[in-house]
């Protein structure tokens, strides 16, 4: 059986004669479907007066009185006939209210809805519980019921009803129904709405759910996640797979429905703000999914302003998701995953849609990913190796040639290309082995060994020790205990998904740092200082350098997290002890990108090393001598516990 439909457009235009209108109203009160259809048709086509519209919705509210909800009946006996009137009323309200809300009766309409919401709410909860979710109820009835409920709930998308919509987002019962409906669509094939051609898009469950997330975000109300997760029996893998299946199904449609793709992409983003759901999403391939959306959008030609604006919005939402989530964990795991997709060609193809983005912040996103984020991670050898062939493959292609010369995207692309070229050159010319040293974290010891030969602390995975005794000493007296605990909490929070920095990457940092220092050789040399303090910031794509030999700035590039004070305390001591050094030294504090867990490298390097004086090499060969000339060399790595970045809530998403 077909769901009830209105006879749209078959009525003569202009206000109807009062007598005819009265007859229809009376018919509607007496539950005549025909009368309702005609009335709704008038309302939809604007062929009645505001006062007439008010009368007709009064009848709809009357029919949606909570006392009319059937009680004590066997749900197997329910039939479509019996529910036609409430379905028609819910649908008619959902379809016509947005049209009339823009007229002079707007305030009255908002009040009317608010006043009758208590009753309608009961209807919705009843319809979901007793009909939609019941397997033994006739499927046509269930489908019609779902359509009517969603058509009404689509009102949350109306900006003029925002105070009411806000109530929905905090309504545990209704939010549960919305999530159940959204889940049902992926769980049960019969409920896929995209298969019903020409269906009004407001009845998409993803549209409603997405709006609720957006409203909660904008109006600063909290989503009750426990309640939502209850729909999925607390299983974050289940909610993540539902979100990704929604998105996957949308992007396999031909032609693409940009609005649907946008909603689904945004739901994935909204869910990813929940730590546990985010991990499930990432585990199930959310990075690849977002990269696929991006590629699909940018590799099509969109015709018409409207389509271009929608496409640009989808593109930006996918890019923002990637920008934020690629850096999850310790940064590199998901960046490597993203590089495995068409991310780089996609970013090069973003330019034609940039003028259609919503604002400047949105416009900057692809530029930032290419020129800042990806560029900054070329400091990791593992990332560089994966990126290098991708960059090479773009050389001389139409994609590269199409970039507007001198444009921001072009500059970002050049920045990335140059960084890759420069660092690939370094990668091929590995500096002498004696240079890659690592120091025991214990202050009492500070013994050095070749990178990769010391043992990692199993708690934080970033502190290195030469022996159990040194580890125990540092734990007890060297403040490693509080630091390690903070970092270890990240390990627990992320279900053990904390990446270590590979020894090869750490060795490569040494190389990058010395190469950056050598760019400033002349300046360092002219100062003729015994202690040269250099602060390097590799986070963000450009390498920022600060020379400061007089004082120690606690946060030259901003302290990101309270755990960084441990690295700072050590830095202060190193600078202090460097004064005892016999030979001039360069003290380096380098900030390394690491997503939620930025790294800080503390290094003491003999000046001769930086200036490239060959006769300094002897310092690095004999280990006993190394130990004697402390602190002429030191190489420590700290990682952030990721606590601070958890609060980050990126702006710029548009649904
Ligand atoms: Zn530790
Ligand atoms: Zn030691
Ligand atoms: Zn931290």
pLDDT for the residue numbered 624 = 44
For the segment 610-637, the average pLDDT, to the nearest whole number, is 57
Locate the domains of the chain by residue range: 434-613+627-646
Average pLDDT over residues 396-413: 92
How many angstroms separate the first and last alpha carbons of the chain? 34
For residue 198, pLDDT over 70 is answered with no
- For residues 267 and 213, the answer to whether their CB atoms sit within 8 Å is yes
- Separation of alpha carbons 491 and 460, rounded Å: 8
Q: Please say if the pLDDT value at position 599 is more than 60.
A: yes
For 123-181, the pLDDT digits (tens) are 999 999 999 999 888 888 999 999 999 999 999 999 899 999 999 999 999 999 999 99
Determine the distance separating the centroid of ligand 3 and the alpha carbon of 590, expressed in angstroms: 16
Residue found by looking up tokens 């493959």 in the block: 393
Ligand 1 center to 488 CA (angstroms) = 8
Asked which of 169-183, 539-553, 576-590 is least confident by mean pLDDT, the reply is 539-553
With cut-offs at 50, 70 and 90, classify the pLDDT of residue 502. confident
Shortest-distance ligand to the CA of residue 469: 2
- With tokens 């407001």, the residue in question is 202
Residues above pLDDT 70, as percent of the chain: 89
- Give me the half-sphere count of Cα atoms (radius 13 Å) on the Cβ side of residue 281: 30
Average pLDDT value for residue range 557-585 = 83
Per-residue pLDDT, 605: 87
Query: Which ligand minimizes its atom distance to the CA of 595?
Result: 3
pLDDT of residue 285: 95
Q: Per residue in 206-243, pLDDT tens?
A: 889 999 999 988 888 888 889 999 999 999 999 999 99
pLDDT of 496 above 90: no
Measured in Å, residue 336 CA sits from the centre of ligand 1 at: 26
Confidence of residue 3 (pLDDT cuts 50, 70, 90): very low
Backbone phi, psi, residue 523, to 5°: -65, -45
CA dist 196 → 189, 209, 256, 332 (Å): 12, 20, 15, 43
Calculate how far, in angstroms, residue 39's C-alpha sits from the geometric centre of ligand 2. Answer: 85
Give me the count of residues in the chain: 655
What own/partner pairs with CB < 8 Å and gap ≥ 24 does 645-651 have? 645/560, 645/561, 645/595, 645/596, 645/597, 646/275, 646/596, 648/324, 649/273, 650/320, 650/323, 650/324, 651/361
Query: Can you name the residues that pair with 534 across neighbouring β-strands?
Result: 547, 588
pLDDT of residue 298: 96
Looking at residue 654, its pLDDT comes to 45
Average confidence score pLDDT of the chain: 85
Q: Tell me the CA–centroid distance for residue 485 and ligand 1, in Å.
A: 7
- Please list, in sequence order, all residues whose beta carbon lies within 8 angstroms of the beta carbon of residue 344, skipping any fewer than 6 positions away: 370, 374, 387, 390, 391, 394
Flag the least confident range among 42-56, 161-175, 305-319, 572-586.
Answer: 572-586
Of the listed ligands, the closest to the CA of 462 is: 1
Q: Are strands 585-592 and 531-537 parallel, antiparallel or unpaired?
A: parallel
Range in 6-15, 543-552, 572-581 the model is least confident about: 6-15
Residue 231 contacts residue 176 (beta carbons within 8 Å): yes
Higher pLDDT: 235 or 199? It is 235
Least confident among 260-269, 323-332, 369-378, 468-477: 323-332
User: Which of these ranges, 53-57, 64-68, 293-297, 522-526, has the smallest mean pLDDT?
Assistant: 522-526
- Look at residue 626 and tell me whether its pLDDT is greater than 80: no
What mean pLDDT comes out for the span 578-601?
Answer: 87
Output the CA 440–ligand 2 centroid distance in Å: 5
């Amino acid at each position: 059986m077909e769901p009830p439909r209105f006879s749209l457009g078959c009525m003569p235009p202009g206000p109807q004669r009062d007598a005819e209108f009265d007859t229809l109203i009376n018919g509607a009160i007496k539950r005549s479907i025909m009368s309702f259809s005609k009335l709704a048709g008038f309302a939809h086509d604007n062929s009645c007066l505001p006062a007439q519209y008010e009368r007709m919705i009064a009848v709809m509210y009357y029919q949606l009185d909570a006392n009319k909800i059937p009680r004590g009946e066997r749900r197997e006996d329910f039939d479509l006939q019996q529910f036609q009137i409430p379905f028609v009323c819910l649908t008619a309200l959902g379809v016509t209210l947005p049209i009339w809300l823009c007229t002079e009766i707007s305030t009255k309409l908002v009040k009317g809805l608010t006043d009758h919401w208590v009753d309608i709410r009961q209807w919705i909860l009843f319809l979901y519980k007793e009909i939609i979710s019941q397997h033994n109820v006739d499927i046509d009835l269930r489908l019609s019921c779902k359509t009517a409920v969603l058509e009404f709930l689509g009102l949350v998308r109306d900006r003029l009803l925002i105070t009411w919509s806000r109530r929905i987002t905090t309504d545990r019962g209704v939010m549960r129904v919305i999530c159940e409906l959204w889940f049902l669509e992926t769980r049960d094939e019969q409920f896929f709405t995209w298969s019903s051609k020409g269906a009004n898009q407001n009845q998409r469950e993803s549209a409603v759910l997405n709006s609720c997330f957006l409203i909660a975000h904008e109006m600063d109300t909290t989503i009750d996640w426990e309640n939502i997760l209850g729909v999925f029996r607390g299983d974050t893998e289940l909610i993540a797979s539902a979100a990704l299946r929604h998105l996957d199904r949308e992007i396999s449609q031909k032609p693409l429905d940009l609005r649907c793709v946008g909603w689904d992409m945004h739901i994935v983003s909204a869910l990813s703000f929940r730590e546990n759901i985010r991990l499930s999403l990432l585990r199930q391939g959310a990075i690849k999914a977002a990269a696929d959306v991006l590629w699909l959008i940018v590799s099509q030609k969109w015709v018409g302003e409207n389509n271009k604006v929608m496409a640009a919005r989808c593109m930006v939402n996918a890019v923002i998701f990637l920008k934020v989530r690629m850096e999850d964990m310790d940064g590199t795991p998901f960046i490597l995953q993203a590089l495995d997709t068409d991310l780089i060609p996609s970013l090069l193809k973003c330019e034609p849609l940039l003028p259609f983005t919503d604002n400047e912040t949105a416009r900057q996103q692809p530029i930032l990913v290419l020129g800042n984020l990806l560029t900054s991670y070329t400091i990791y050898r593992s990332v560089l190796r994966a990126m290098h062939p991708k960059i090479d493959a773009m050389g001389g292609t139409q994609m590269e040639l199409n970039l507007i010369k001198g444009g921001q995207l072009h500059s970002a692309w050049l920045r990335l290309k140059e960084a890759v070229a420069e660092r690939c050159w370094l990668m091929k010319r590995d500096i002498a082995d004696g240079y890659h040293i690592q120091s025991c974290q214990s202050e009492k010891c500070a013994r050095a060994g070749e990178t990769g030969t010391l043992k990692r602390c199993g708690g934080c995975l970033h502190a290195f020790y030469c022996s159990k005794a040194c580890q125990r000493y540092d734990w007890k007296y060297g403040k490693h205990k509080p630091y390690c605990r903070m970092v270890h909490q990240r390990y627990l929070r992320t279900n053990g998904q904390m990446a270590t920095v590979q020894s090869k990457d750490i060795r490569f940092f040494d190389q990058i740092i010395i190469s950056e220092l050598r760019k400033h050789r002349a300046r360092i040399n002219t100062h003729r200082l015994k202690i040269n303090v250099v602060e390097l910031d590799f986070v963000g794509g450009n390498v920022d350098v600060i020379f400061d030999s007089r004082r120690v700035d606690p946060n030259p590039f901003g302290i990101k997290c309270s755990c960084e004070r441990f690295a700072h305390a050590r830095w202060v001591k190193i600078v202090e002890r460097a004064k005892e050094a016999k030979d001039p030294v360069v003290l380096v504090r380098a900030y390394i990108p690491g997503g939620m867990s930025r790294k800080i490298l503390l290094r003491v390097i003999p000046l001769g090393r930086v200036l490239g004086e060959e006769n300094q090499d002897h310092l690095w060969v004999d280990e006993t001598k190394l130990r004697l000339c402390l602190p002429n060399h030191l190489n420590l790595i700290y990682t952030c516990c990721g606590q601070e970045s958890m609060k980050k809530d990126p702006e710029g998403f548009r649904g």
